[in-house]
């Protein structure tokens, strides 16, 4: 079976993109899936979050982009998931890509021989709409859009959907937007609920799984080189990511996980109305 490839994208920084990528991936691995995560961000936050020093790693994704190493040679086998690491050198490689023929297809081509070895591939895109993110979208089957439940999220989603439209027209006609992953959700505030309801209605996008509630534990987890899900942490946000992982694997909704995520029927009805949780 060929791996399903997800690009996790939002050019607005600080929305929980890397945290979502890692914890959903860890949730799938917990369920027995073989998962590869690709760090497509020159900041290397995903790489660092798994306990690696990006500046000490060689080869990395940058070496693949400039032609020094094949993508399989960069893969690290972490205790939770396999990872293609990145570091700041990738920022320079982006300039190299600009003069390369077929630059949008580089990652897609490099992943082709790996798809039979994994069940799922996640691409953690950079917080920009540059050529690296275009590579991620061109290589993907579906896009997950993490959104922080605050007013400024609208601008990021609108710009990203415009870019996805261009990619579908020019480099990846089968690309599909799977939906929104609501992060840093505070169910106690009317603002969070109203913003999430408006995002879903305005862009006609489904909500994937329950919203991920705020927790300081997410900020702390990179210090131990593990995800909250992989560490067995049971805060509501970790339960939400486990529920999202199940949904993306087309497994039945686990009502206990949904309850543990703090997503009540009342909140769901207020935000989604009579809409279904899944598309």
Give 141's contacts (C-beta < 8 A, 6+ positions apart): 4, 5, 6, 174, 175, 176
* CA–CA distances in Å: residue 211 to residues 11, 59, 239, 266, 275: 20, 36, 10, 14, 15
pLDDT of residue 223: 72
The answer to whether residue 277 sits within a structural domain is: no
pLDDT of residue 230: 81
Distance CA(50)–CA(22), nearest Å, equals 9
Structural domain boundaries, residue 214: 4-272
CA 151 from centre of chain:
21
Distance CA(106)–CA(65), nearest Å, equals 7
pLDDT tens digits, the chain, 279 residues: what are they? 799 999 999 988 889 999 999 999 999 999 999 999 999 999 999 999 999 999 999 999 999 999 999 999 999 999 999 999 999 999 988 888 888 889 999 999 999 999 999 999 999 999 998 999 999 999 999 999 999 988 777 777 989 999 999 999 999 999 999 999 999 998 888 888 899 999 999 999 999 999 999 888 887 787 778 898 987 778 999 999 999 999 999 999 999 999 999 998 888 888 887 444 444
The answer to whether residue 16 sits within a structural domain is: yes
| β-sheet bridge partners, residue 121 | 5, 36
pLDDT of residue 131: 93
The answer to whether residue 25 sits within a structural domain is: yes
Work out how many domains the chain is built from and give that number. Answer: 1
Could you tell me if 131 and 103 are in contact, meaning their C-beta atoms sit under 8 angstroms apart?
yes
Could you tell me if 35 and 82 are in contact, meaning their C-beta atoms sit under 8 angstroms apart?
yes
Burial (CB < 10 A; 0-12, 13-18, 19+), residue 194, is middle
The answer to whether residue 65 sits within a structural domain is: yes
Distance CA(96)–CA(108), nearest Å, equals 17
10 closest CA partner among 140, 106, 142, 153: 153
pLDDT of residue 279: 41
Distance CA(271)–CA(256), nearest Å, equals 20
Distance CA(30)–CA(20), nearest Å, equals 15
For strand 176-183 and strand 82-84, is the pairing parallel, antiparallel, or unpaired?
unpaired
219 Ramachandran zone, left/alpha/beta (phi>0; psi -120 to 50): alpha
* SS3 category, 233: coil
| β-sheet bridge partners, residue 182 | 147
Degrees (nearest 5) of the Cα angle 110, 114, 115?
110
Domain containing 108 — which CATH number?
3.40.50.300
**Angle between helix 236-248 and helix 17-30 axes, rounded to 10 deg:** 70
* SS3 category, 6: strand
The answer to whether residue 279 sits within a structural domain is: no
Provide the token pair at 29: 């691995």
Could you tell me if 258 and 208 are in contact, meaning their C-beta atoms sit under 8 angstroms apart?
no
């Amino acid at each position: 079976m060929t791996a399903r490839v997800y690009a996790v994208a939002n050019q607005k920084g600080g929305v929980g993109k890397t945290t979502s990528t890692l914890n959903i991936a860890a949730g799938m691995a917990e369920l027995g899936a073989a998962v590869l995560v690709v760090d497509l961000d020159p900041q290397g936050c995903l790489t660092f979050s798994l306990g690696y020093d990006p500046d000490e790693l060689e080869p990395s994704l940058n070496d693949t982009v400039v032609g020094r190493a094949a993508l399989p040679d960069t893969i690290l086998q972490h205790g939770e998931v396999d990872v293609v690491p990145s570091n700041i050198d990738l920022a320079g490689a982006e300039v190299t890509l600009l003069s390369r023929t077929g630059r949008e297809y580089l990652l897609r081509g490099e992943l082709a021989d790996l798809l039979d070895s994994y069940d799922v591939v996640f691409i953690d895109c950079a917080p920009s709409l540059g050529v690296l993110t275009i590579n991620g979208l061109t290589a993907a089957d579906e896009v997950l859009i993490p959104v922080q439940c605050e007013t400024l999220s609208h601008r990021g989603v609108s710009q990203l959907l415009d870019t996805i439209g261009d990619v579908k027209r020019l480099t990846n006609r089968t690309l599909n937007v799977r939906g929104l992953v609501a992060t840093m959700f505070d169910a106690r505030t009317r603002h969070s609920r109203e913003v999430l309801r408006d995002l879903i209605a305005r862009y006609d996008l489904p909500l994937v799984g329950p919203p991920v509630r705020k927790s300081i534990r997410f900020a702390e987890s990179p210090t131990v080189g593990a995800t909250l899900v992989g560490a067995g942490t049971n805060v509501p946000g970790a339960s939400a990511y486990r529920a999202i992982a199940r949904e993306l694997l087309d497994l039945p909704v686990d009502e206990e996980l949904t309850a543990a995520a703090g997503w009540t029927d009342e909140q769901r009805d207020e935000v989604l109305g009579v809409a279904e949780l899944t598309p």
